[in-house]
Amino acid sequence: MTAYLPCLASIRSALRAFFLCSLAIGLARGQAAPSPAPADAADSSKDLVNLPAFEVKSSTDQGYFAKQSISGMKTKMDLADTPGNITVIPRDLIDDIGVSESASDTLKFVASGVNPYVRGEQLQIRGSRTGFTLVDDIPDLMFFADNVGIDSYEILKGPTALLYGPSSSIFGLVIKTTKKPAPVFDASLKASYGSFGFARTDLDVTGPLGHGFSYRLIGAYQNSDGYNDSYRDDRRIFISSLQWRNARTTIRASYEHATIETGTLDANNVVAPGNVIKPFEGPRGWKFRYAPDYGTAGLYSNDVRLNFTHEFTENWQTRVYYDRTVTDRPSIGMPLLTSVDYVTGTIVTAFFDYDENFISTVYGTDNIGKYSVGPVNLQSNFGYLYDNREGTGKTYLYQANFITANLYHPADYNSYAPLATSRSKPDTFTGAPKDTFYFLETASLLNDRVIVNAGASRISVKQSDGKHDDTVKRAGALFKPVKDVSLYYSYSTMFNPTAYTTVDINGKRFPNVFGEGQEVGAKASFLDGRLTLTADYYWMKLSNLSTNSGLVNPTTGLGYYIFVGDQKFTGTEVDLQAQLTKNWQLIAVAWSGDTLNSTGKQADNSLKESAGFFTRYNFTEGAIKGLSIGGGTYFAGRRSFDSVGKYIPAFSTTNVFVAYQFARNWNVTANVSNVFDKIYVAGAWSAGDVDFGDPRSVRLTASYRFK
């Protein structure tokens, strides 16, 4: 950890002064306040609830429904008071869905308009790719991640650049809230076994250390062969956090290491010929993806985070944070499909070894102030975000036509060895520092029946070809005509300079992207909150958009993009949460939308509709007391590639689970994914580079909770 400390010197003098001043004031106030209670006295539920405005207590044991968000306005706020469609997915719901390896496969059941783009952390929101997720409001850089350290997901719909900078998407973003140290002891141990050689162990321990200190240790160890060699997924996750708190100040440091090794991704997927993109069903049944065993895509990361939060008064709080992540993303022995000949039954394959190394540095501050002017209650949010990524990539080996092999016998690949000749193509990814200064003012009128907000942020990005900057604007209004009903409108713009990787086939960077979005919606709560409903309609537009071609430059061995131009987006979403009975919870979501290019046609790689539901019923009496059953179905509509006359057909998949708590601390769960064993295409980079869904699989998990 000491290796990262010199990087703090790069923080600008103004921010450094603010940080040190806040820290000094916090410690001084902490000394003046009463001494922290002994560990056994401080470890109370009151301490768990009395958290800063930027944090919420653990969502474990809270059920499927959340009432507050901490990311929608970068501070704790009731969902009913936010002018936008915001969904919070608590830990209990994450566990029941039972997919620890993927955010996309978790969220698709329970968040409207959220669909997998490809496997892993790449998502579509409202029909278009959103990019990376965020962790505790900090931009992330993980194609693959594990949710063992995640307490909840928050999905923010619509343009969010004002609060989260140019890395955010106009369609929305996903923020992961991590598990924090707790002042009471709690621990859980899980062991899981399942189909295709799946084996996993999870450990989560938290508790007090005395004198205001607490800790948390989280680990996961997973081996998974996958239903063929291309889908294996082995993981080693370790997370440690140390926290100190007194009456007004929280200081926390955390370290996370992740080793994730998967198969060859989409290197040699094979789709059937014709307009309909579907798996080619060879003699090996489910083994329709043909890739050699030696291909491996890895993700190795080390992440250090520092957080300082101080409450100056009950209504004025500040947070300063710093994050540095070092990531290595190699693709070792990775084949690329060049062509398929279904007449002769042959495949021609390219081959390369590629390695990317990134360093991400993020720091900033968020501040909140609440005050009143006459009958008007006001809240000011302002802050600063610095975000920069830089690194290197190198193709150690690239061969355009490595193998011509038999389509029906993929094992033939393993009889070939890479040729001795190689071409080295180093590529340095120049950092593009992003500065965002934001201010957002919120006013509550008429006893909080009317809530309005307005703000702006100045975004500046330093690219290799010069400085790019713009002002992003945001405004919203929410009106409560009657109790438990909210009507809202929001407007926002976005500015996103294209990255160094967003280049055409000649290596030329595309123009910057500008966007604008509007949304109207309604939120309602019925039956004393047991039934909540959110419905919205949005319309947005983007200029200078480009999309991944899914192809590789034959000279450089690197991928490139294709210019799309302008796009327009419209759609409708519905999110329903229902406590049908004391023991029965249900979430149902639906989305329908259009993503139209400059010619008025459906944009490539876009969906038009999706829906899902997930439910759980607990038996609390009789001989089967302690038994729970549940599950859900996800439906994805047709995904179009009109420019090449192809499409991915609509599909649905169903997951179920059965859980039984047979003692106070023991629980056993059986999860079955893709119950009806459907063969489908789940996601795609392009029309020729797709992700096939997993076949039916079963996992059995035994867990013990020490408490």
Closest CA to 297 of 358, 359, 352: 352
CB 94 within 8 A of CB 87: no
Q: Which pLDDT does position 416 carry in this prediction?
A: 61
Q: What is the rounded distance in angstroms from the CA atom of residue 23 to the CA atom of residue 459?
A: 27
The pLDDT, as a whole number, for residue 208 is 96
Backbone angle region of 427, left / alpha / beta, with phi > 0 → left and psi within -120 to 50 → alpha:
beta
Residue where the block lists tokens 């790719």: 129
Token pair recorded at residue 566: 């302008």
Give pLDDT, residue 420. Answer: 57
Domains of the chain plus CATH, in order, are 2-706 (2.40.170.20)
Confidence at residue 384, expressed as pLDDT on a 0 to 100 scale: 95
Average pLDDT, the chain: 83
Q: Compute the distance between CA of residue 42 and CA of residue 243 in angstroms, rounded to an integer.
A: 14
Catalogue the E-assigned strands of 553-665: 559-581, 584-596, 606-607, 609-618, 627-636, 639-641, 646-648, 651-660
Distance between CA atoms of residues 50 and 32, nearest Å: 19
* pLDDT for 229: 59
What does each C-alpha distance from 317 to 21, 250, 365, 439 come to in angstroms?
Answer: 14, 11, 11, 15
Beta carbons within 10 angstroms of residue 417's beta carbon: 7
φ, ψ of residue 93 in degrees (nearest 5): -70, -40
Taking the C-alpha atoms of residue 648 and residue 639, their distance in angstroms, rounded to an integer, is 5
Q: What is the pLDDT of residue 705?
A: 93
Tally of CA atoms within 13 A in the half-sphere of 317 that contains its CB: 20
pLDDT at position 579, please?
A: 94
Cα 254 from chain centre: 19
d(CA 126, CA 312): 40
pLDDT at residue number 47:
43
- pLDDT at residue 671, rounded to an integer: 96
d(CA 374, CA 400): 72
pLDDT tens, residue by residue, 517-573: 999 999 999 998 899 999 999 999 988 888 777 677 777 667 788 888 888 999 999
Residues 602 and 608 sit within 8 Å (Cβ to Cβ): yes
Q: Which residue bears the tokens 């061995």?
A: 557
pLDDT of residue 503: 81
Q: Which pLDDT does position 421 carry in this prediction?
A: 52
> Could you tell me which residues are beta bridge partners of residue 534?
523, 575
* pLDDT score, position 427: 64
Residue 31 has phi, psi (to 5 degrees) of -70, -30
What integer pLDDT is reported at residue 236 of this predicted model?
A: 96
Could you tell me if 426 and 448 are in contact, meaning their C-beta atoms sit under 8 angstroms apart?
no
pLDDT for res 465? 74
What parts of the chain have a pLDDT lower than 70?
1-50, 131, 227-230, 264-269, 281-295, 395, 409-430, 500, 550, 556-557
pLDDT tens digits along 200-254: 999 999 999 999 999 999 999 999 887 665 678 899 999 999 999 998 999 999 9
Secondary structure of the chain: what % helix, strand, coil (to 5)?
Answer: 10, 55, 35
DSSP state of 454: E
> Which DSSP helix (H) or strand (E) runs through 105?
helix 103-107
